Chain A
Amino acid sequence: MTHFAAVVLFALFASVVFGITQRETPRSMVRYGAYCFVLFVGSAIALSWIMFLIAR
């Protein structure tokens, strides 16, 4: 498994649990889950680029 695949799977499962447990209606659960997923993966990509640029 690549590191990025691990990040995506981690984000997916954590977002599903966050969405279901932190919101009350199905619609808001989906929206919050998607929001968490984007934040997880987006921040991982952003931090990766920052570390790549620092290491150069």
Chain B
Amino acid sequence: MATEENKSAAEVPAAKSGAQPGAQSGAQAQSQMVPVYLPLIAGWMVPGAGHFLLRKWGRGALLAGSILAMFALGLAMHGELKSEVHDILDMLGLAGDLGNGLLYLVSRLAGLGADKVQVTVADYGTRFIVVAGLLNVISAVDAHNLRTGRKS
């Protein structure tokens, strides 16, 4: 059942472009060999990895560069990496931070990021880190959509 759904979804872009269903390029055929949820999980763990798996090198590089730069700038501005939750806003912030995947875990283990925001720029840095995580989630979902054929 799930296989049938994936198959029909994969045929949508070909139908949109007017191409024959069997006329998929080699790159498209190879991207269909990747397990359905792998681009989603890989894209969450490492920014851009989902697109790289699907051989979308340019898109992946731009997404990875943007998300990594945003996360690094957040850390450089002494932004806070959430580790504990005190209220609902902290919970949302932690959810955003977790969107960074391995970046968040490695940074926590390395002791990067401030424990407490003390200057205005550090508050901006905290937002940069949270938004980098949210953008990474959007990027991972986009990779999943490319894999299933909802997007070309």
- What is the interface of chain A mostly: helix, strand, loop, or mixed? helix
Across-interface contacts of B132 in A (CB, < 8 A): 13
Closest A residue to B128 using CB positions: A10
Q: Contacts A3-B124, A6-B121, A21-B142; is A14 near B131 (CB within 8 Å)?
A: yes
Partner of A17 from the list B121, B139, B152 (CB cut-off 8 Å) is: B139
Across-interface contacts of A20 in B (CB, < 8 A): 59, 62-63, 139, 142
Q: Is the CB of B138 within 8 A of A6?
A: no
Interface size range on B against A = 20 to 34
Across-interface contacts of B66 in A (CB, < 8 A): 12-14, 16-17
Q: Contacts A17-B63, A17-B139, A20-B63; is A10 near B121 (CB within 8 Å)?
A: no
**Total cross-chain contacts (CB, 8 A):** 51
Q: Is the CB of B139 within 8 A of A24?
A: no
Q: Is the CB of B63 within 8 A of A16?
A: yes
Closest A residue to B142 using CB positions: A21
Q: Contacts A1-B121, A24-B151; is A17 near B77 (CB within 8 Å)?
A: no
A39 close to B (CB within 8 Å): no
Closest B residue to A6 using CB positions: B124
Q: How far is it, in angstroms, between the C-alpha of A44 and the C-alpha of B99 when the chains are bound?
A: 25
Across-interface contacts of B70 in A (CB, < 8 A): 9-10, 13-14
Q: Give 1 or 0 for each of A18-55: 1 = CB within 8 Å of chain B CB.
A: 10110010000000000000000000000000000000
B81 close to A (CB within 8 Å): no
Q: Residues of B at under 8 Å CB distance from A?
A: 59, 62-63, 65-67, 69-70, 73, 77, 120-121, 124, 127-128, 131-132, 135, 138-139, 141-142, 151-152
